Amino acid sequence: MSDRNNQRVGRRSLLQSIGAFGALVGLGGITSATPGREPGPKKDELIVGVDSDVSNIEAVVEPKIPSNAKIVHTNETLGYAAVEIADEASIQAKETVLDADEVTYSEDNVTYEAIGADPQELESDADTASTLYTPNDPNLGSQYAPQQVNAPEAWETTLGDPDVTISIVDQGVQYDHPDLSGNMDRSVSNGGSDFVDNDGDPYPVSASENHGTHVAGIAAGGTDNGTGHAGISNCSLLSARALGDGQGGSLSDIADAIQWSADQGADIINMSLGGGGATQLMREACQYAKSQGALLVAAAGNDYGSSVSYPAAHDSVVAVSSLDEGETLSDFSNLGPEIELAAPGDDVLSSVPWDDYDYFPGTSMASPVVAGVAGLTLSAWPNLSNEQLRTHLQDTAVDVGLSGNEQGSGRVDAGNAVTTEPGSSPDPNPDPGECGDEVNTASADGELSGGWGGNPSDTYTYQLQTVDPCSATITLEGPTSADFDLYLTVDGRTPTISDYDERSASEDSNETIEVDLTGSEAFGLLVSRYTGSGSYTMTVDESGR
Distance CA 71, CA 84 (A): 6
Can 170 be counted among the known catalytic residues?
Answer: yes
List, for residues 317-359, the tens digit of each pLDDT value: 999 999 999 899 999 999 999 999 999 999 999 999 999 999 9
Provide mean pLDDT across the span 156-179. 96
With 80 as the cut, is the pLDDT of residue 174 above it?
Answer: yes
Predicted pLDDT of residue 18: 23
The neighbouring-strand residues paired with 73 are: 82
Q: How many CB atoms lie within 10 A of CB 224?
A: 16
Provide mean pLDDT across the span 84-98. 65
Answer with the residue of higher pLDDT: 267 or 541.
Answer: 267
Answer with the residue of higher pLDDT: 489 or 171.
Answer: 171
Three-class DSSP labels, 137-180 = CCCHHHCCHHHHCCHHHHHCCCCCCCCCEEEEEECCCCCCCCCC
Give me the percent of the chain exceeding a pLDDT of 90: 51
Provide mean pLDDT across the span 530-537. 79
With 60 as the cut, is the pLDDT of residue 30 above it?
Answer: no
Q: Which long-range contacts (CB under 8 A, 24 or more apart) does 88-92 make?
A: 90/46, 92/66
Distances (CA, A) of 506 to 503, 509, 511, 513: 10, 8, 7, 11
Q: Which of 250, 309, 330, 364 is labelled catalytic?
A: 364
Predicted pLDDT of residue 524: 82
Q: Which of 137, 170, 185, 324 is labelled catalytic?
A: 170
Predicted confidence band at 389 (pLDDT cuts at 50, 70, 90)? Answer: very high
Provide mean pLDDT across the span 410-427. 89
Provide mean pLDDT across the span 442-447. 82
List, for residues 234-287, the tens digit of each pLDDT value: 999 999 999 988 878 899 999 999 999 999 999 999 999 998 789 999 999 999
Which of 289, 258, 167, 153 has its CA nearest to residue 220?
Answer: 167
Predicted pLDDT of residue 91: 55
Answer with the residue of higher pLDDT: 487 or 94.
Answer: 487
Predicted confidence band at 525 (pLDDT cuts at 50, 70, 90)? Answer: confident
User: 6-15, 339-348, 434-443 — which is least confidently predicted?
Assistant: 6-15
Answer with the residue of higher pLDDT: 153 or 96.
Answer: 153
Provide mean pLDDT across the span 158-171. 96
Predicted pLDDT of residue 528: 82
Predicted confidence band at 423 (pLDDT cuts at 50, 70, 90)? Answer: confident
Predicted pLDDT of residue 216: 98
With 90 as the cut, is the pLDDT of residue 11 above it?
Answer: no
**Phi and psi angles of residue 485, each rounded to the nearest 5 degrees, phi first:** -115, 150
Output the pTM of the full model: 0.71
Total residues found in the chain within this entry: 545
Q: Residue 193 is inside which H or E element, if any?
A: strand 192-194
List, for residues 282-326, the tens digit of each pLDDT value: 999 999 999 999 999 999 999 999 999 999 999 999 999 999 998
With 70 as the cut, is the pLDDT of residue 485 above it?
Answer: yes
Can 347 be counted among the known catalytic residues?
Answer: no
Answer with the residue of higher pLDDT: 263 or 492.
Answer: 263
Residues with Cβ within 8 Å of residue 150, at least 6 apart in sequence: 413, 414, 415, 416, 467
Predicted pLDDT of residue 94: 60
Predicted pLDDT of residue 531: 75
CB 166 within 8 A of CB 235: yes
Distance CA 474, CA 457 (A): 17
Predicted pLDDT of residue 40: 66
> Given CA atoms 24, 28, 30, 32 in this order, what sign does their dihedral have?
positive
Predicted pLDDT of residue 87: 59
Distance CA 368, CA 373 (A): 8
Predicted pLDDT of residue 191: 92
With 70 as the cut, is the pLDDT of residue 90 above it?
Answer: no
Predicted confidence band at 92 (pLDDT cuts at 50, 70, 90)? Answer: low
Predicted pLDDT of residue 208: 87
Domains of the chain: 29-109 (3.30.70), 137-419 (3.40.50.200), 438-544 (2.60.120.380)
Answer with the residue of higher pLDDT: 205 or 425.
Answer: 205
With 50 as the cut, is the pLDDT of residue 496 above it?
Answer: yes
Give me the percent of the chain exceeding a pLDDT of 70: 84
Answer with the residue of higher pLDDT: 38 or 383.
Answer: 383
Distance CA 83, CA 251 (A): 13
Can 314 be counted among the known catalytic residues?
Answer: no
Predicted pLDDT of residue 501: 87
- The per-residue pLDDT of the chain, averaged, comes to 83
